[in-house]
Amino acid sequence: MIPLSNKETVRVPVDGVTYLVAVPTLLTRASYRREVAALGAVYHSDEKLLNVLRDGVRECVAGDQVGTLIEIINSYEIESKKVADLGDEANEAEKESLADLRNRMDEIEQFMTREYDPYNRMAADRGYWLSIAPIIAFRHFVKGWEGETDVQYKERGGQVCESLMDHLPPEHIDVVGWKSIMLMSPTGGQEKNSESQSQ
């Protein structure tokens, strides 16, 4: 359940430690996004990445294979949207079909990462965003923690002291950071796309 009051905090338990996450406000969301942007992190949408991937196929692949690879990319785009829209209602056949397409897409993406610099740069941009965004979100929105940890919470300028984060488990920062991001965008979308993470 997403809290409605901006004065509330969300308790996020991870391995015996409970983190207190402030519900983002308009101002704190803007501050978070500014810092992410200042670090040069850019999240390119699936649509943009797939369009550049198609361009790479047309430029780098032998003519008799272009059509086949474009068809795989198109099918993957359609099926991934379909499964995402269905959510828990997607059946096993649909999930298996998407998994098979995902495996074939992995091969295409690995090739394009080596051979087509525009795709390589965009994929690197998004990979950097996915790695840095939860860290910045953790610093911005965590307001304390309790439980099985010897690390004492301290803040500076309303944010978790960066030096403390070196003493916290990285997986805790990742889980809590993504939870914070989801609170900014409870319907999902660009802020956290599980398929994007797998890429």
What is 65-105 written as a DSSP string? HHHHHHHHHHHHHHHHHHHHHHGGG--HHHHHHHHHHHHHH
Domain boundaries, the chain: 9-43+126-198, 46-124
What's the pLDDT at 63? 85
- pLDDT for 113: 96
Q: What backbone phi and psi angles, to 5 degrees, belong to 148? A: -85, 75
Instruction: State residue 182 phi and psi, 5-degree precision.
Output: -65, -30
Q: What is the model's pLDDT at position 189?
A: 40
Give 24-66 pLDDT, tens digit per residue: 999 999 999 999 999 999 999 999 999 999 999 999 998 889 9
Reported as a pLDDT band with limits 50, 70 and 90, residue 119 is: very high
> CA-CA distances (angstroms) from residue 185 to 27, 50, 94, 172?
15, 23, 26, 20
Residue 105 Cα to chain centre, angstroms? 18
Tokens describing residue 30:
């803007």
Stretch 130-145: mean pLDDT: 96
Q: Is the pLDDT of residue 196 over 60?
A: no
pTM (predicted TM-score): 0.80
Residue 187 is predicted with a pLDDT of 52
Residue 197 confidence (pLDDT) above 60? no
Q: What is the mean pLDDT of the chain?
A: 88
What is the C-alpha to C-alpha distance for residues 145 and 167, in angstroms, rounded to an integer?
A: 13
The per-residue pLDDT for 8 is 81
Give the per-residue pLDDT at 152. 92
**pLDDT exceeds 70 at position 195:** no
pLDDT of residue 89: 87
- Residue-wise pLDDT for 14-35, tens only, equals 999 999 999 999 999 999 999 9
**Has residue 1 got a pLDDT over 50?**
no
In which band, very low, low, confident or very high, does the pLDDT at 71 lie, cut at 50, 70 and 90? very high
Contacts of 109 (CB under 8 A, 6+ apart): 53, 119, 123, 199
Are the beta carbons of 42 and 129 closer than 8 angstroms?
Answer: yes
Enumerate the β-bridge partners of residue 146. 18
CB 84, CB 195: distance < 8 Å: yes
Residues pairing with 10 in the sheet: 21
pLDDT of amino acid 49:
96
